[in-house]
Amino acid sequence: MQAVFETVFDIAYLSFVLATGIRMLAQGKKIGMCAVILGGGDAFHLIPRAVALWTDGLAAHSASLGIGELITSITMTVFYLLLYRYTIRDVGKETKSFAITLYVLAILRISLCLFPQNRWTSADAPFSWGVFRNIPFVIMGIMMIVLYARRGKSRMALAVALSFGFYIPVVLFAGAHPFVGMLMIPKTLSYVWIIVMLSKTK
């Protein structure tokens, strides 16, 4: 049942996000790259996960799942940088220090993801590094929430807040309590909402 549900959900999600992104790019909307990066990056994790669920289980595919998670972690960071660039055009510039801080956090996040101590391909990757690499990412998210809220974009602020609100418990507790991983479903739907809102921009 898990394999069927996850596969159908993931295919629907990836198809929608990638198709929407490609359509936006075809319309001359550069912000469509956000959707392409989001869907393309998530595919590196979701496709190996589907293969694992339909074959010999997640435990037997720790290497491919770990590498996929690494790629997704990096592309998600790039997604927020692209989202910020869109925000500048749509709601006006923030301070220079805001931009510098956001980019420094992104570099720090990606750098932490690349440390070998993460042991991405291991079945028992250290919990501590899962927390370390997500600290700058969460700060980036908070900055984006504040930026949207201050510019009167309450729906976008809420969508970003929900995505992180569902993601943080997974990082902190899914290792000990696997059922918490189900929060990735509403987290993914939050990203779908973001893409829907982006697709309606001029």
One DSSP character per residue, 133-155 reads: TTHHHHHHHHHHHHHHHHTT-HH
Evaluate whether 170 touches 180 at the Cβ level (below 8 Å): yes
pLDDT in tens, 72-126: 999 999 999 999 988 776 655 667 888 899 999 999 999 999 999 999 998 888 9
122: three-class secondary structure by DSSP: coil
Mean per-residue pLDDT over the chain, rounded = 91
Domain spans in the chain, listed from the N-terminal domain onward = 2-199
pLDDT, tens only, 126-143: 999 999 999 999 999 999
Model-level pTM? 0.92
Q: pLDDT tens, 139-168?
A: 999 999 999 998 888 999 999 999 999 999
Q: Which pLDDT band holds residue 201 (cuts at 50, 70, 90)? A: confident
